[in-house]
Amino acid sequence: MEEQRLTTGGWREALFNRRMMICIFTGFSSGLPLYILLSLLPAWLRSEHVDLRAIGLFALMQFPYNWKFLWSPLLDRYALPAFGRRRGWMLASQIGLIIALPVFGALDPQIDLMTIAILAMTVAFLSATQDIVLDAYRREILADVELGLGNSIHVNAYRIAGLVPGSLSLILADILPWSSVFVITALFMLPGILMTLVIDEPKLAGALPRTLRAAVVEPFREFISRAGLRSALLMLTFMVLYKLGDSMATALATPFYLDMGFTKTEIGLIAKHAGLWPSVIGGLVGGLWMLKLGINRALWLFGVVQVVSILGFAVLTEFPGDRVMLAAAISFEALGVGLGTVAFVAYIARATHPLYTATQFALFTSLAAAPRVVINSVTGVLVEQTGWLNFFFLCTLLALPGMLLLPKVAPWNGDQPARREATK
């Protein structure tokens, strides 16, 4: 059995196989357009002297990512000709992105700002659509025992993709016109397109939804009937709460660093490297470790690290201007987030049903991301009222309710029988 080889054949066999290679490409393809919108687009607009208030409004372009579950049933119900249900939508969204992204460079921010906003929303819609189908495809090709490692590789490749628009493209912008920068950046979508052309369509056991109504209604009905109403509500509550504390702690990270007396250069140099690589290493090690731990135990152990890592920011308030403490706090928090995210995404993937993966995965991830919208609107008020130290203590407390739900939604030994059965 494939699962047996995964659990007994060592980490090399688990890590170096076709499915994990695919997860690298899905992560990179998924992360690139988002980081273009979050990093490259604001830099371009500001360099063209667009008002900061106008640039701030571009945060609304994240709307499609939070509401992608609204059109995900279409991707479960309908298949595009020739390429199949998953690969067809992958290719359509990826081609749309590689065509749309260079158009930014052909526009003038001083004249075409509204057109740029519409284009940004279009790119966000195409990117969110790609996310829906990539998440579904990844879930359908991975065995349950592979979910932790596969999603870890996906998330890490997602983060590394941010180095293209957040670093390479900005360097190129100093020596090339912006039109060329956007073309070159868009070309990094080509590996994802090539992946889509060479991979196989997942084999599904069972009938696909026959009507759009079934594609909309059945994913919810199936989830509730499978889990039971009470358990389903507990699981959805857990998805909202598990990462609430660390999301809240990082919502105002840059203003916090500035208030602690660090320069923008120090923040840029230290935060980029101290934050990225510990999260990548933590995610990869966590994914490999989950092959033995299972998803449930990983949620417990990684969740503890995730909670405790928030306190690193509280410690930093006692060492303002100390660059070593800044690097330590950011690294520890990034490690905790990397570990917690791997286990959490694997849990979400496991909660989906193969027939309705796109809709259920999109719904669960949107639900998990929803608190960030509220958090970003209230954290400033909380900091002004409590101060940074008490704010981080509050974030730590808010991380605990999700942990307290673990005995109900992910018992310590809850996934062990399935794993033992898989290894027979």
pLDDT at 5: 43
Q: Are 188 and 168 in contact (CB under 8 A)?
A: no
Q: Are residues 136 and 232 in the same domain?
A: no
pLDDT in tens, 223-240: 999 889 999 999 999 998
Question: Helices 357-386 and 113-141 sit at what angle, rounded to 10 degrees?
Answer: 120
- How many domains are there within the chain? 2
Q: Are residues 145 and 286 in the same domain?
A: no
Distance between CA atoms of 146 and 2, rounded to whole angstroms? 10
pLDDT in tens, 102-127: 999 999 998 999 999 999 999 999 99
pLDDT at 81: 82
356 in any annotated domain:
yes
230 in any annotated domain:
yes
CATH of the domain at 413: 1.20.1250.20
Q: What is the pTM of this model?
A: 0.78
Domain finish residue from 171, 201, 231: 201
Q: Are residues 224 and 144 in the same domain?
A: no
Q: Are residues 193 and 262 in the same domain?
A: no
Residue 55 in this model has a pLDDT that exceeds 80: no
Domain finish residue from 147, 166, 201: 201
- Which one has a higher pLDDT value, 367 or 142? 142
Q: Are residues 186 and 311 in the same domain?
A: no
Distance between CA atoms of 270 and 190, rounded to whole angstroms? 31
Q: Are 158 and 28 in contact (CB under 8 A)?
A: yes
Residue 325 in this model has a pLDDT that exceeds 50: yes
pLDDT in tens, 177-225: 999 999 999 999 999 999 999 999 887 655 567 787 878 888 888 899 9
Domain finish residue from 178, 201, 224: 201
360 in any annotated domain:
yes
* Least confident range of 185-194, 238-247, 304-313: 238-247
* Least confident range of 114-128, 159-173, 361-375: 361-375
Residue 99 in this model has a pLDDT that exceeds 70: yes
pLDDT at 54: 77
- DSSP assignment, residue 332? H
Q: Are residues 326 and 190 in the same domain?
A: no
Q: What is the mean pLDDT of residues 337-356?
A: 86
Q: What is the mean pLDDT of residues 322-338?
A: 89
157 in any annotated domain:
yes
| Residue-number span of the structural domain to which 358 is assigned | 211-424
Q: Other CB atoms closer than 10 Å to residue 116's CB: what's the count?
A: 22
32 in any annotated domain:
yes
Tell me what the pLDDT averaged over the chain comes to: 85
Task: Measure CA of the first residue to CA of the last residue in the chain; give whole Å.
Answer: 8
Q: Are residues 185 and 226 in the same domain?
A: no
- Which one has a higher pLDDT value, 76 or 418? 76
Residues sharing a CB contact under 8 Å with residue 51, sequence separation 6 or more, in sequence order: none
206 in any annotated domain:
no
Write out 338-374 in H/E/C secondary structure.
Answer: HHHHHHHHHHHHHCCCHHHHHHHHHHHHHHHHHHHHH
Rounded-to-10 torsion of CA 220, 224, 225, 231: 160
Percent pLDDT > 90 in the chain is 40
* Least confident range of 28-42, 65-79, 212-226, 269-283: 269-283
pLDDT at 251: 73
Confidence bin at 255 (pLDDT 50/70/90): confident
C-alpha dist (Å) from residue 118 to 99, 115, 355:
15, 5, 34
Residue 417 in this model has a pLDDT that exceeds 50: no
Q: Are residues 176 and 42 in the same domain?
A: yes
User: In 229-294, which ranges are continuous DSSP H helix?
Assistant: 229-241, 244-250, 253-259, 264-266, 272-293
Q: Are residues 278 and 297 in the same domain?
A: yes
313 in any annotated domain:
yes
218 in any annotated domain:
yes
Residue 64 in this model has a pLDDT that exceeds 60: yes
- Which one has a higher pLDDT value, 232 or 415? 232
Q: Are residues 315 and 184 in the same domain?
A: no
C-alpha dist (Å) from residue 422 to 41, 147, 290:
46, 14, 15
Confidence bin at 9 (pLDDT 50/70/90): low
Confidence bin at 421 (pLDDT 50/70/90): very low
Distance between CA atoms of 331 and 320, rounded to whole angstroms? 17
Q: Are residues 67 and 91 in the same domain?
A: yes
pLDDT at 12: 67
pLDDT at 170: 85
- Which one has a higher pLDDT value, 308 or 217? 308
Percent pLDDT > 70 in the chain is 90
pLDDT at 3: 42
Task: Single out the residue of 399, 299, 280 nearest to residue 343, CA to CA.
Answer: 299
| Sheet strands (E) in 280-332 | none
Q: Are residues 218 and 193 in the same domain?
A: no
| Residue 79 burial class via C-beta count within 10 angstroms: exposed 0-12, middle 13-18, buried 19 and up | middle
Confidence bin at 422 (pLDDT 50/70/90): very low
- DSSP assignment, residue 271? I
Report residue 296 CA to chain centroid gap. Answer: 20
Q: Other CB atoms closer than 10 Å to residue 146's CB: what's the count?
A: 25
